Structure 1
Amino acid sequence: MKKVFLALSIIALLTTSCGSKKKIAELESKNKEIQDLLNSATIKLNTCLTEKEGLASQMEFLKKNNSDLINNMGNMTTLSAKGAENIEKALESIKEKDLKITRMQDALTKKDSVTLALVTSLKRSVGISDPDIEINVEKGVVFISIADKLLFKSGSYVVSDRAKEILGKVAKVVNDKPDFECMVEGHTDNVPFISNGTLLDNWDLSVKRSTAIVRILTKDFGVSPRQLIAAGRGEFVPLVENNSAENRTTNRRTRIVVMPKIDQFYDMIEKEMKNKK
């Protein structure tokens, strides 16, 4: 009977891990699509700026031609209808380009402004100047990295009281942002984990640590489960090489990724791109 129970537990853990991996892959794929859209938008923005400069030069040329006509004819009423029409068209074209550039800049900066506001809010709320806690931004996403020594004992996935204090502050920020998602990633070093009947390996440990934190956020601090993603990365995404005790300590961490829902950014950028056509 114990063997059957153990086999069922292993299958359940593997299924959870596969689901998390699939979700992570989907998020990474969508994030790549957004980055591609942002790159395309930037290219179009640069093109618009170049065209604007060309139109401005054209307008100056037309103005000079009309000025020459005025000087030659000695009367402003001799301004050619054609020249006036060209200036008017050039001005309208510049106004149109300015509007497109403004809209595109809004689309490209809106994501950065939202992220900056989130970082400021997090740093103010967490209020901890601790070398074992880092808050930074990479590609428009906020990362909170917490060293494992603040969260768990070695080989354990039981969350410490000190960690609950930190997670409570993070939860407050997430609760204030119902349109944001929060992915909890567990990371280990590459020292082989000796199976204890409950955990099989480092990957298994990283998943259990992630789900332990997710449960704290939901049960203790009321974070909506719809906003949370539990993920275990094991030893496979190290920050540095696992070639010293210090480096292995660095790699043992939990990373909390706070980000506006990818679908919302995708729709926003896609809409702005269509408006530029």
Structure 2
Amino acid sequence: MIKKISTLALTLMLCASCVSKKLYTELEDKNANLKMENRSLSDELEQLSKSNNRLNNDLEQLQSAYEKAVAERDKLQTDYKAAESNLANLKASYKALEENSSAAIAANSQKNRELLAQLEAKEQALAAENARLETLKKELENRSQRVAELENVIAAKDANMRKLKNAISKALTNFEGKGLTVEQRNGKVYVSMENKLLFESGSWYVGAQGKQAVKQLGSVLADNPEIAILIEGHTDNVPYKGNAQLSGNWDLSTKRATAIVNILRENPSINPENLTAAGRGEYAPIATNETAEGRAKNRRIEVILTPKLDEISKLLNEI
């Protein structure tokens, strides 16, 4: 009887090992895909920022061209008035000379014709310049409107992210001083939780206090469906010597990030399509690994919240 029970236990252990290996492989593939998607989103955000700078430069160039065109128009108007004055003087001279000399009259007539031709040419040039100035003005107005719309959208998203950051800080007030920080930078909100709040050493099982913090964070994220949620796992540089199923710190950080994703997925109001889990291992430290305090800060989970950029992309395509 004891022999049968031992055989059954051995069989169950072998089956569990196979399932864990399969799960690990799936998570590893998913992690690679999600990291590529994260890099793509970061590149897109950087590209949008460059486009915004380029549009501002274009706007300045258009403004300069507009001011130059105004100056040229004013010069043409001055020349036009001077030509009119010369014409009036020549007409007066023509009237005086008309009584004295037919030759002088003929010469003045030729001059009058030349001046009239010059005046007509200047009128045409002034009309063309006014038309060009009006076109530049309309283009400047259109570009200014698009840039203003883009800036308003960006400002609105920044305001929404500030509101989100404040809501998260309020929801997680009970965890202040326990290895949790919330900050906003580069248009994103970063929620950092040290491992002492979430995991035991070498484990990816989330404790009761950590699970409560993640669920309270999830209650805020559920009210913000337009936010992309990236969960990054980080470790220190001490080689991992725990579970033989893991190859090292990178695997451990990935499993920890996935554990946080699984807790957030328990909230049915959070769209799984908004969630991304990624392991960074020891390669993105925020403190030195030479001290125990620094290593503790490096062992963390970072939840990075990014606004979706569909509306900004649409405005850029319209410009």
Whether these two folds match at TM > 0.5 is: yes
CA deviation after TM superposition for structure 1 residue 200, in Å: 5.0
Residue equivalent to 2:126: 83
Pairwise CA distance, 1:63: 2.1
Q: In structure 1, how many angstroms separate the alpha carbons of the residues matched to 2:291 and 2:15? A: 40
After the TM superposition, which residues 91-106 of structure 1 pair with which residues of structure 2 at under 5 Å, given as runs? 91-106=134-149
The match for 1:239 is 286
Pick from 29, 32, 37: which aligns with 2:40? 29
Cα distance in 2, alignment partners of residues 8 and 160 from structure 1: 24
Q: Which piece of structure 1 moves more, 190-199 or 204-213?
A: 190-199
Q: Which residue does 1:147 correspond to in 2? A: 194
Q: Distance in 1 between matches of 2:210 and 2:154?
A: 30
Aligned-pair Cα RMSD in Å = 2.9
More helix by share: 2
1:175-198 Cα shifts (integer Å, max 9, x gaps): 122122212111111222223356
The yes-or-no answer on 1:39 pairing with 2:50 is: yes
Query: Which position in structure 2 is the counterpart of 1:73?
Result: 84
CA distance in 2, matches of 1:187, 1:180: 22
Corresponding position: 1:52 with 2:98 = no
**TM-score, normalised via structure 1 length:** 0.82
2:229 is equivalent to residue 182 of structure 1: yes
Equivalent position of 2:27 in the other structure: 16
Is contact 1:180-1:227 (8 Å) kept?
Answer: yes
Larger radius of gyration: 2
In structure 2, relative to structure 1, the CA distance for the partners of 1:257 and 1:272 (3 Å cut) is same
- In 2, the alpha carbon distance for the partners of 1:221 and 1:191 equals 37
Which amino acid is 2:203 matched to?
Answer: S
Is the contact between residue 17 and residue 232 of structure 1 (CA under 8 Å) also seen in structure 2? no
Q: For the Cα contact (< 8 Å) 1:119–1:135, is it kept in 2?
A: no
Kindly indicate whether the alpha-carbon contact (under 8 Å) linking 1:112 and 1:140 is maintained by their aligned counterparts in 2: no
Query: Hey, what does 1:217 align to over in structure 2?
Result: 264
- Give the Cα separation in 2 of the matches to 1:45 and 1:88: 25
AA in 1 matched with 2:153: K
Q: TM-score, normalised by structure 2?
A: 0.72
What residue ranges of structure 2 are gaps of 5+ in the alignment?
1-10, 86-118
SS at match of 1:80: helix
* Contact 1:171/1:221, CA 8 A, preserved across alignment: no
User: Structure 1: 5+ residue runs without aligned partners?
Assistant: none
- What is the match of residue 117 of structure 1? 160
Q: CA deviation at 1:117?
A: 1.5
* Code of the aligned partner of 1:28: R
**Equivalent of 1:205 in 236, 248, 252:** 252
**Aligned residue-pair number:** 269
- The answer on whether the counterparts of 1:24 and 1:231 sit within 8 Å (CA) in structure 2 is yes
| Bigger RCO of structures 1 and 2 (CA < 8 A, at least 6 apart) | 1
In structure 2, C-alpha distance between the alignment counterparts of 1:224 and 1:92, rounded to whole Å: 47
CA contact (8 A) 1:119 1:136 kept: no
